[in-house]
Amino acid sequence: MSQKVIINSDILKGTINKNIYGHFAEHLGRCIYEGFWVGEDSEINHTNGIRNDVVAALKKLNIPVLRWPGGCFADEYHWKDGVGPRADRKRMVNTHWGGVVENNHFGTHEFMMLCEMLETEPYICGNVGSGTVQEMSEWVEYMTFDGESPMANWRKENGREKAWPLTYFGVGNENWGCGGNMRPEFYADLYRQFQTYVRNYGDNKIFKIAGGANVDDYNWTEVLMREAGWLMDGLSLHYYTIPGDFFKGKGSALDSRESEWYITMKKALHMDELITKHSLIMDKYDPDKRVGMIVDEWGTWFDVEPGTNPGFLYQQNTIRDALVAGLHFHIFQKHNERVQMANIAQTVNVLQAMILTEGEKMILTPTYHVFEMFKVHQDATKLDVDVASNPYEWQGENIPAVSVQASTKDDQIHISFCHVDHKNSTTVQIDVRGYEDKLDQITGRILTAGETNAHNTFENPEQVKPVAYEDFTVNGSQIELRLPPMAVGVLTI
């Protein structure tokens, strides 16, 4: 049975904030070191220590915003150890992530340089768990004050004359867990105190993000909004798609069983319920939706690749991850009135990465390709879409087989689709109302695979990549798509 989608091209539903296509890079495993930073003496092609191949690949994604330095690392990071001559920088133990030595060679200046190379906005997460109000306050002064002051002078001595523009600043991370094991009431008070000293210098206006809830901890959102909502611009939410159990075994990234496929899709769709319920609480205290929901950690979390350091969170990435990414973007776009930013965890070599590296080699993952295809939605105007999907069934349960979103920008319409059924092809009738006369100029791209665990390797880097999609016919205002199993793609009209 064919599935039906209606797109009303004249019903506009607001702007899709480009920041939902944001990223997160932590001092974790081989994300920063090896993934981005190889150092000035490296034989790997680099600019001032930052790998050129990774930057070139990421620039094609138009990354709007990059969160750093953590994650759990943020609440034990002391920024002053990461500025000044590299040889003199203090070494520390990265207790959260493998107990390895952190030499602080990648610090504030290197991160800001990376953002400039990527043409992306920095989002810095400060230390509440083990830091002080003064330390956080001075970091903001160091980065953003252009006049005469101890921190601004120190920045200049360290080689940066002008202040950096900085908008997004997080006041701690996961303060219910690795960021201090706090109760929401306690963190709400700390947030009120710390954020007071996150100052706006000159024209620089900081968008302050409070550490938000873990998954379905609705009480955390309630307390934070009640006790500190008026002092924040954003409140975060973290949710990872884990097919198994976080402690007993998350599942393998390369598991090809039907059960793993279905459960992963179902758990990815859970993000919709979480955003809906957290939003309802935020609406109570902020009916005008001034405070953004900032989903600053999301993505798949599997067991690490066999033989790799368990603290490095290195996992492969398959067509299953690609569908998870596509579903998440559709959910974020559906909630565009509240969700102002989302940051996938993490950009390189960690969790649901865009890029995997091995020495000087680099591969693009299926997730990378979804970010690249879907970038057309960034800052576009969302269109009204009504989807009547068939159920995708597995062992007496079901979820919708098809998800569709549409947006318009520069006189074009972009329709993105996800087909999660791993076994059956389908047809989808899309009625693009009000755009009939332009349906003779449609192009498409699709990412699909023959195996549920299809992925790219260093030996075979182009196993999963987008191809031109032409398996559709047009009749009046109707486009009929014939979709293979496990497919994600974009049509441009």
* Distance of alpha carbon 85 from alpha carbon 462, whole angstroms: 41
For position 71 contacting ligand AHR by CB under 6 A, the verdict is yes
Q: How many residues bind ligand AHR (CB under 6 A)?
A: 10
Stretch that binds ligand AHR, among 52-60, 67-75, 336-344, 434-442 (CB under 6 A): 67-75
Nearest to 321 by CA among 464, 198, 157, 108: 464
Separate counts of helices (H) and strands (E) for the chain: 9, 26
- The answer to whether 373 and 328 have CB atoms below 8 angstroms apart is no
Cβ-based neighbours of 351, under 8 Å, separated by 6 or more: 240, 299, 300, 301, 313, 315, 345
Q: Is 34 in the site for ligand AHR (CB under 6 A)?
A: no
* Residue nearest ligand AHR by beta-carbon distance: 71
Q: How many CB atoms lie within 10 A of CB 228?
A: 22
Nearest distance in Å: CB 75, ligand AHR: 9
Which one of 5, 38, 61, 72 is in contact with ligand AHR (CB under 6 A)? 72
Strand partners, 51: 46
Q: Which stretch binds ligand AHR (CB under 6 A): 14-22, 31-39, 64-72, 471-479?
A: 64-72
Strands 355-358 and 391-394, sheet pairing: unpaired
Annotated catalytic residue: which of 110, 174, 260, 372? 174
Nearer to ligand AHR, 45 or 130 (CB): 130
Among residue numbers 466 through 485, which ones bind ligand AHR (CB under 6 A)? none
Q: Which stretch binds ligand AHR (CB under 6 A): 37-45, 68-76, 150-158, 189-197?
A: 68-76
Subset of residues 118 to 177 that bind ligand AHR, contact rule: CB under 6 A: 173-174
Q: Which is nearer to ligand AHR, 72 or 325 (CB)?
A: 72
Q: Does residue 345 touch ligand AHR according to CB under 6 A?
A: yes
C-beta of 351: minimal distance to ligand AHR in Å?
Answer: 6
How far is the C-alpha of 250 from the C-alpha of 266, rounded, in Å? 15
- Binding span for ligand AHR by CB under 6 A among 40-48, 84-92, 345-353, 456-464: 345-353
Active site residue 459: no
The region of 41-49, 65-73, 250-258, 392-400 touching ligand AHR under the rule CB under 6 A is: 65-73
Ranges within 10-29 binding ligand AHR (CB under 6 A)? 26
Distance CA 442, CA 435 (A): 12
What is the nearest approach in angstroms of ligand AHR to the Cβ of residue 180?
12
C-beta closer to ligand AHR: residue 233 or 297: 297
Number of residues in the chain: 493
Angle, helices 319-334 vs 258-285, to 10°: value is 20
* Residue 297 designated active-site: yes
Between 71 and 485, CB nearer to ligand AHR: 71
| Alpha helix (H) residue ranges in 119-256 | 133-144, 150-157, 184-196, 218-228
Site string for ligand AHR, 262-301 (x = CB under 6 A): -----------------------------------x----
Name the H helices within 241-365. Answer: 258-285, 319-334
Binding mask 166-185 toward ligand AHR (x if CB under 6 A, else -) reads -------xx-----------
In sequence order, the 6+-apart residues with CB closer than 8 A to the CB of 264 are 241, 243, 251, 300, 320, 324
> 347 with 25: CB under 8 angstroms?
yes
Tell me which stretch binds ligand AHR (CB under 6 A): 38-46, 343-351, 364-372, 444-452: 343-351
Cβ-based nearer residue to ligand AHR, 17 or 236: 236
Distance CA 155, CA 108 (A): 10
Catalytic pick from 26, 76, 121, 297? 297
Residue 393: partners with Cβ closer than 8 Å, 6 or more residues away = none
d(CA 295, CA 192): 21
> Minimum CB separation from ligand AHR for residue 70, in Å?
5
Question: Exposed, middle or buried by CB within 10 Å (0-12, 13-18, 19+), for 484?
Answer: middle
Tell me which residues are annotated as active site. Answer: 174, 297
Footprint on this chain of ligand AHR (rule: CB under 6 A): 26, 70-72, 173-174, 297, 345-346, 351
